[in-house]
Amino acid sequence: MQKSLYLDADKCTGCKQCELACSFERDGSFNPIKSSIQIFTFHEAGRFVPYTCTQCDDAWCMTACPVDAITINTATGAKEVNEATCVGCKVCTIACPFGTINYNTDTGKVTKCDLCGGDPQCVTACPTDAITYVEADATGFSRMKEWAAKTDNAQSAA
Amino acid sequence: MAWTNKVLRVNLTEGTLRYEPLNQEWVKDYLGQRGLGTRYLVDEVDPEVDALSPENKMIFATGPLTGTAASTSARYSVITKSPLTGAIACSNSGGFFGPELKFAGLDMVIFEGKSPTPVYLYIENDEAKLLPADDIWGKSVWEADEILHKAHHDPQLRVAAVGRAAESGCLYAAIVNDLHRAAGRSGVGTVMASKNLKAIAVRGTKGISNIKDPKRFMASTAQEKEVLAENAVTGTGLPALGTQVLMNVINEIGAMPTRNMQDVQFEGASKISGEAMLEPRESDGKPNLTTNAGCFGCTIACGRISTVDTSHFSVKDKPQYHHNSGGLEYEAAWALGSDTCVDDLDAATYVNFLCNEDGMDPITLGSTIAAAMELFEKGAITTEHTGGVELEFGSPQSLVWCAEQVVAATEFGKDLGLGSKRLCEKYGMPDLSMTVKGQEFPAYDPRGIQGMGLAYATSNRGACHLRGYTVASEVLGIPEKTDPLVSEGKAGLVIAFQDATAAVDSAGLCLFTTFAWGMDNIAPQIDSACEGDWSVERLLEVGERIWNMERDFNLKAGLTGADDNLPKRLLKDVAKTGPAKGRVSELDVMLPEYYELRGWDSTGVPTDDTRQRLSLA
């Protein structure tokens, strides 16, 4: 069964534990700039929003790559960058509509979320379940349940 | 190893910057942040200097765990001599600024001298420079933050700045980072402004990659995060209600300082409580609290993000306050609310916004306004002084007016900017100042929580709850319950809290973890990250050493055992209501025992044996 990251901004407190876990997993360092997941703070609105790659099925980064350095991990569905093949041309960073694939100046390669091979560390690190790893076919179910609870028959639904 | 081993020294007089290695000998004895910063200050600053002279120095210090995956790794401290107390100042802040300093490769920044013109320090990894601050001097923290972000075209820039209160000499000015986190107490912002330093803007992308044993560190920090999550205070109470979880609790036990500490219970407490912040308003159906928020790395997330009712008198014609910002935590809600008898949540929130916007310590501001209200009540301050404005307990208009005067630095605002000790002296009633060593009390009346009376009297930075929070034991039963009305045994309790707190601060962790963590939860996290052997025993020894070193600085600065005292009101006037009814603080019983247990002589001076045991110079 394939799984997806599910990001719930309403639960995020902006603590960046996910960024620390990600940068540690990818880079061996605590360094938010090296994290593939980023928390954005909208101060005046009082909102914290986690954002990362959604692993598009028809992934434009993969399509755009001139050297086929981005491939699909069939077990997780993640689009993964093969660093040995990547030439650092950054075309994928232009192609991605969401900005979730980025260049790493230390390695000269691009970097993106690879779902940590099926055990995403951001999910483990998040203290509020703002980031969960759920069945890909059911990413909306938790939100459906919240709305279901608000319907008139809420008492019987509980 | 977790330290970056690099210190940036900025001579503001000469305009020169230089890097130097961190003193490794001192690291062994003082760990980091509060301890290490204090060690540098003690070595470099004559305790007798005028706090606002170029001879005073100001140190921004991170801890070894600052910026790491340990929960609450956000903390940094500013260490200097305080203009409010004349004692050592060490003010701790969260947010995101401290970790950014670490990511730029710095353990500490030491400021010396005074710049001939207003400047700010810009740090981008290994490059640092002083830049002219002409276009941000005279601006609020919020304005300066926005201007600096635009000037450097960098949304990720982290800024710590002083506001207009500091510039006009308010003696309790804070340094505010990330718009609403503050190194708040003892006037560290006043020192910064006295050096013509408006802000520090930092961007770091180097990260931290020198943890001693990364695998053990990750396992240890993950395990301890679970402990925080499962604890009732850190896992439930603080995220839901913030520190404001305490408002109703402390009021019920009769330890809520009210009406400039004339009373110990406030009839309007529930209206300014954490619970009240969740209630939808009549005007727009929104609650005061929008969301809770975490500082960097914090899995507790006690921070409050709030709005003021846009139809409230304080902001209705001021659209610049019609958005979210840092909301009330307990100490601010108490000082701006209970101590002034103002039960108007929006008025208190608005004044809290002003404290964030222009860098003022809300505890001292609220307490000073409360003192002014009592001076007015007793006829020492009149409408002649205020230009016709009545200062009345319980009046949100009076509260808001007073706070705005401090920001605007009007003639009366400058009086309020002196803090309550100097204010009450100036108006001829010094006994009305509720302070220790010139710093105002936080929100726990020592008549109802006996240990706190001793903690206040002996605190090295003047009255303060963050130097020995025996409330944890006396009220919340952490680590074990003691009777708040009993003074027996409290000397030992206060010492245990003071020493542990100094160690926690020095690691770069937040004190709030200690609602759930003991030192045995903390030591393995430090030990797996840092070179050397960091056992519980060693950390407590470090804590005790720091405490004695701070004490030593204060004694050399001219303070004596006589300054380990409380206002007469708390020693002579009994609590009128609640469980503590009929009681005063029994400081006279606790203090001699405290000195003895500390290894100090009867005048409060560390004995030679004590100094030798702790290897104090």
Tell me: the pLDDT tens digits for B10-35? Answer: 999 999 999 999 999 999 999 999 99
- Residues B413 and B373 reside in one and the same domain: yes
Q: Is A51 helix (H, G, I), strand (E, B) or coil?
A: strand
Contact of A135 with A1, CB cutoff 8 Å: yes
Among residues B379, B410, B433, which one ends one of the domains?
A: B433
Average of per-residue pLDDT across B34-55 = 98
Tell me which chain A residue has its CA closest to the CA of residue B178.
Answer: A43
- Residue B333 sits in a domain whose CATH number is 1.10.569.10
Contacts of A128 in chain B (CB under 8 A): 301
Contact A31 B205 (CB under 8 A): yes
Query: Could you tell me how many residues make up chain B?
Result: 617
Q: What is the pLDDT of residue A24?
A: 98
Identify the residue whose tokens are 């247990």: B597
Candidate from B214, B291, B299 with C-beta closest to A17: B299
Q: What is the pLDDT of residue A158?
A: 47
pLDDT tens digit sequence for B454-493: 999 999 999 999 999 999 999 999 999 999 999 999 999 9
Candidate from B67, B295, B303 with C-beta closest to A30: B67
* Residue A139: band (very low, low, confident or very high) from pLDDT cuts 50, 70, 90: confident
Interface predicted TM-score (ipTM) of this complex, two decimals? 0.96
How far apart CA B478 and CA B482 sit, in angstroms, is 9
Domain layout of chain A by residue ranges: 3-157
* Residue A146: band (very low, low, confident or very high) from pLDDT cuts 50, 70, 90: confident
Cα B135 from chain centre? 29
Among residues B394, B410, B433, which one ends one of the domains?
A: B433
Contact A33 B307 (CB under 8 A): no
- Residues B248 and B396 reside in one and the same domain: yes
Average of per-residue pLDDT across B529-534 = 95
A18: exposed, middle or buried (C-beta count within 10 Å: 0-12, 13-18, 19+)?
Answer: buried
- Does B556 fall in a domain? yes
- Residues B472 and B397 reside in one and the same domain: no
Candidate from B297, B305, B323 with C-beta closest to A17: B297
Pick the CATH number of A3-157 from 3.10.450.40, 3.40.50.1700, 3.40.1360.10, 3.30.70.20: 3.30.70.20
- Does B439 fall in a domain? no
The mean pLDDT of chain B is 97
Contact B207 A29 (CB under 8 A): yes
Looking at chain B from residue 225 to 264, which residues have their Cβ under 8 Å from any Cβ of chain A?
Answer: 225, 229, 239
- Residues B429 and B340 reside in one and the same domain: yes
User: How many structural domains comprise chain B?
Assistant: 3
pLDDT tens digit sequence for B418-453: 999 999 999 999 999 999 999 999 999 999 999 999
- Residues B608 and B481 reside in one and the same domain: yes
- Residue B479 sits in a domain whose CATH number is 1.10.599.10
How far apart CA B165 and CA B542 sit, in angstroms, is 35
Contact A14 B294 (CB under 8 A): yes
- Residues B269 and B378 reside in one and the same domain: yes
Identify the residue whose tokens are 């939100």: A143
pLDDT tens digit sequence for B242-288: 999 999 999 999 999 999 999 999 999 999 999 999 999 999 999 99
Tell me which chain A residue has its CA closest to the CA of residue B105.
Answer: A31
pLDDT tens digit sequence for B302-322: 999 999 999 999 999 999 999
- Residue B42 sits in a domain whose CATH number is 3.60.9.10
Contact B291 A124 (CB under 8 A): no
- Residues B412 and B506 reside in one and the same domain: no
- Does B397 fall in a domain? yes
Please give the residue range of the domain that contains residue B408: 244-252+258-433
Cβ pairs bridging A and B (under 8 Å): 87
How far apart CA B436 and CA A49 sit, in angstroms, is 43
How far apart CA A111 and CA A129 sit, in angstroms, is 25
- Residues B329 and B472 reside in one and the same domain: no
B513: exposed, middle or buried (C-beta count within 10 Å: 0-12, 13-18, 19+)?
Answer: buried
Identify the residue whose tokens are 């701006």: B336
Residue A27 has pLDDT above 60, yes or no: yes
- Does B362 fall in a domain? yes
Average of per-residue pLDDT across B549-569 = 98
